[in-house]
Structures are given as structure tokens and as C-alpha cells.
């Protein structure tokens, strides 16, 4: 009987193996096409500007002043208890107040939350962290260090270390995330609901939601070509560093994908706040390793969100389609508020900080 059972399983196992092979071939094919596209772009830059301008690296002797500005908060370091990893963060507000933890996305760092640090420090203990591999935080070598469980463990360690109240008792935090920070925040809230009081998400969805949507929507696949490119070794780092990080600048400054609000367009110094860490030797590899570790996010360990959630979405997002919203919402089992900001880009917290801050206050104070 056992031999018959094993025999009957053979077609299923072969089908699964074939599906895996086809999937990997598909990803590899799209990655190669993306490499051709980005390489062609670099070639155009060479023809227009010359090889010296495109391939010579700009020397940066130190961080821009805004990146170490103490008016946003005090710069500190935390050594995580479990991993021993050293993370940089900026903290402001009252020491005994409730923790509001901000998680940034690609290709940013703590500086992405400068408007929110100043806004919420009167009421909360606000903390904007440089995720592992970013900014002034440590960057372990190897993509295995950027898998889901490692990242969730980081957030758990941060909250345990900093989320203490007046009597040194642990209190739940307000967790805020954007882009990759949003993906981490979704998963963390689902996995550790006892550590999160409220969840605030800005232009980001659960990874399993994104993966399912990507497979069925070719337009989203086109908008995500850089993610496929990042699956390749070394070449993406070379291409994205050309012309003094032309692609990074284009991502945040271009008319289509960048910040839309002229009043909050990034200054040269503010753009340098993001480029400084990336320009360090090997600085692009750790952020790209988040994408190279995508397999560790599927399937999701937990999907249900058991805490009140606010979802803010800049409708002029050139990288994530609005069609992701209803799929993300369906996993929230508590109350959820969804607010679309028509005039805002993917970088909504920097694009429309006043609007974002007001929506956050309304949610936190539970008023319409």
C-alpha cells in the first residue's frame, strides 16, 4: 500500500518541480530583459555625457549636514540582544511616552521621516531607524541576512529595547512603515499583534499580496522591472551607481516617479542624505539584498492583521498600482481606514507631509 501511495505521488512531485523550474526560468528571463533595458539606458548616458562623467565616482568626504542634524532628534545606536547587530536611529520626544516607530523603504533611510519626527514628538517617543544595511546601521554581507525572519527579529528587538513606559513596563507601539518598511510592518503586525497597538502604512502592501498581484497584472510587472534586475549579482550595483546614481535620483526626482509637490521637492543636500550611504563601498548591495531575499517572504507565516490600521496611498505612485489596495485590505480583521492622496507620489510622507500628518492624527485620536 505504501509503495502505491509513493507511486501516486510521483506526478504531483514532478508537476511541482516543473513549476519551480518554469518560475525560475521566467524570473531569470525577465531579469535579463531588465538588464538589457538598464544597460541601454547607461549606454545612452555614455553617448550623451561621455564615459568619464558616467563611470567616474563622485567623492563624498562626509555626510551632508541634514543627515546628522540634531534638530530632528538625538542620534543613537542600539545593539540588538539576539543578533548583536548595531542599528542607528534618531529619537525625539518624552522618554516615558508611547513608542512610535518609523520604518523606511528603498532607497531611503531615517531621513525620510523628518517631517513626522517633528510633528509627533510632543506626544510620542518617536524613533526613525536605519534598517539593517542602510544609512549608519550595520550591513551584514550576504543576502541571507536580509530574509524575512531576520528583519522581523530586528523590529522585535527595537520595540523590546525602546518600547518601555514610565514604570519600565513594556507598552505596545504605534508602527509606521513605507515601501519596504511597510512590507515589514504588515508582516510584523500580523506576527506580533501583542506588540503593536496601531498600524500605519504608506504606499506598501504585504509581500504575498504583491506577489499574487504581480503574477496577474503585466503593467505592475513593467513597473517592477528594477526588482527583477536586482535578482542578478553585481550588475545591478554597477548600473545603478553609474552617472553618480542616476537611477536613484531619477526614482525620487523625475517628473513621473518622483515627488510631485514643488514645495517639497528634494534639495541637493536632501538628495545627498540618501546617496551618501549608498555611495559607500558596497553601499548598494545590502538594500538590493532585500529584493534578493524575496523567496523568504512567501508563503506568509501570518496574514491576518488584528490591530486597527490606517492605509495612506499616494495615487501618483509610479511603482505600485492602486489595484493592490483592496487585496491588502481584505486581511485586516480590525477597523481599517484607507485614504488616497490624489496629488501625491509613492514618496507620500515627503510629498504631502502636512496631509499625511493630519490623517495620522485623525487616526490616532479616532476622529473623522
> In this predicted model, what pLDDT tens digit does every residue of 55-96 receive, in sequence order?
999 999 999 999 999 999 999 999 999 899 999 999 999 888
Region for 72 from its dihedrals, namely left if φ exceeds 0, alpha if ψ lies in -120 to 50, beta otherwise: alpha
Active-site residue, 89 included: no
Residues paired with residue 101 on neighbouring β-strands, in sequence order: 127, 175
CA nearest neighbour of 132 among 173, 202, 82, 92: 82
| Cell matching residue 333 | 480583521
Q: For residue 5, is pLDDT > 80?
A: no
Choice among 154, 179, 317, 351 that is catalytic: 179
Q: Locate cell 530586528: which residue?
A: 154
Instruction: Determine contact, residues 35/235, Cβ cutoff 8 Å.
Output: yes
Q: Residue 248: what are its φ and ψ, rounded to 5°?
A: -65, -45
Buried b (16+ CB within 10 A) or exposed e, 328-362: beebbeeebbebebeebbbbbbbbbbebbbebbee
Q: How confident is the model at residue 367 (pLDDT cuts 50, 70, 90)?
A: low
Percent of the chain with pLDDT over 70: 91
DSSP 47: H
Backbone angles phi and psi of 100, in degrees to 5:
-115, 110
When pLDDT is cut at 50, 70 and 90, the band that residue 17 belongs to is low
209-232 per-position pLDDT tens digit: 999 999 999 999 999 999 999 999
Burial degree of 187 (CB within 10 A; 0-12, 13-18, 19+):
buried
User: If we measure between CA atoms, which residue out of 62, 146, 127 comes closest to residue 88?
Assistant: 127
Highest mean pLDDT among 18-27, 165-174, 195-204: 195-204
The greatest distance separating any two alpha carbons of the chain, rounded to the nearest whole angstrom, comes to 73
* Rounded Cα distance, 294 and 183, in Å: 11
Candidates 72, 134, 213, 291; catalytic one: 291
State yes or no: pLDDT of 9 exceeds 70: no
Residue 368: what pLDDT?
43
Catalytic (active site) residue 302: no
- pLDDT at position 165 is 59
Would you call 291 a catalytic residue per the annotation? Answer: yes
Q: Retrieve residue 223's grid coordinates.
A: 513597473
How buried is 6 (Cβ within 10 angstroms: 0-12 exposed, 13-18 middle, 19+ buried)? Answer: exposed
Active-site option among 88, 104, 208, 346 = 346
Task: Give the integer Cα–Cα distance in Å for 290 and 294.
Answer: 7
pTM (predicted TM-score):
0.93
Amino acid at each position: 500500500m505504501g509503495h502505491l501511495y509513493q507511486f501516486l505521488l510521483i506526478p504531483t512531485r514532478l508537476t511541482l518541480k516543473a513549476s519551480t523550474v518554469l518560475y525560475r526560468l521566467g524570473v531569470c528571463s525577465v531579469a535579463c530583459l531588465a538588464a538589457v533595458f538598464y544597460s541601454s539606458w547607461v549606454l545612452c548616458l555614455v553617448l550623451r555625457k561621455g564615459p568619464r562623467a558616467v563611470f567616474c565616482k563622485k567623492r563624498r568626504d562626509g555626510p551632508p549636514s541634514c543627515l546628522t542634524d540634531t534638530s530632528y532628534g538625538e542620534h543613537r545606536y542600539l545593539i540588538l540582544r539576539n543578533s548583536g547587530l548595531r542599528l542607528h536611529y534618531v529619537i525625539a520626544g518624552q522618554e516615558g511616552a508611547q513608542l512610535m516607530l518609523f520604518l523606511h523603504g528603498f532607497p531611503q533611510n531615517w531621513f525620510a521621516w523628518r517631517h513626522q519626527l517633528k510633528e509627533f514628538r510632543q506626544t510620542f517617543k518617536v524613533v526613525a531607524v536605519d534598517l539593517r544595511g542602510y544609512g549608519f546601521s550595520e550591513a551584514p554581507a550576504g543576502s541571507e541576512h536580509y530574509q524575512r525572519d531576520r528583519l522581523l527579529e530586528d523590529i522585535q528587538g527595537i520595540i523590546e529595547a525602546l518600547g518601555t513606559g514610565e514604570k519600565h513596563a513594556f507598552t505596545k507601539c504605534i508602527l509606521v512603515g513605507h515601501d519596504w518598511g511597510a512590507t515589514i510592518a504588515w508582516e510584523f503586525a500580523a506576527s506580533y499583534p501583542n506588540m503593536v497597538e496601531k498600524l500605519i502604512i504608506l504606499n506598501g502592501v504585504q509581500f504575498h499580496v504583491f506577489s499574487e498581484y504581480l503574477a496577474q497584472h503585466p503593467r505592475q510587472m513593467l513597473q517592477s522591472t528594477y526588482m527583477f534586475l536586482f535578482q542578478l549579482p553585481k550588475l545591478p550595483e554597477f548600473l545603478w551607481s553609474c552617472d553618480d546614481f542616476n537611477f536613484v535620483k531619477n526614482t525620487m526626482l523625475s517628473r513621473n516617479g518622483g515627488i510631485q509637490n514643488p514645495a517639497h521637492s528634494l534639495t541637493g543636500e536632501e538628495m545627498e542624505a540618501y546617496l551618501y550611504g549608498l555611495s559607500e563601498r558596497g553601499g548598494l548591495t545590502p538594500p538590493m539584498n532585500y529584493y534578493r531575499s524575496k523567496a523568504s517572504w512567501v508563503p506568509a507565516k501570518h496574514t491576518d492583521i488584528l490591530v486597527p490600521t490606517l492605509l495612506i496611498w499616494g495615487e501618483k505612485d509610479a511603482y505600485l498600482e492602486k489595484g493592490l489596495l483592496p487585496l491588502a485590505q481584505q486581511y485586516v480583521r480590525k477597523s481599517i481606514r484607507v485614504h488616497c492622496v490624489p496629488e501625491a507620489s509613492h514618496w507620500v510622507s515627503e510629498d504631502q507631509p502636512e496631509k499625511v500628518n493630519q490623517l495620522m492624527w485623525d487616526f490616532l485620536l479616532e476622529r473623522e
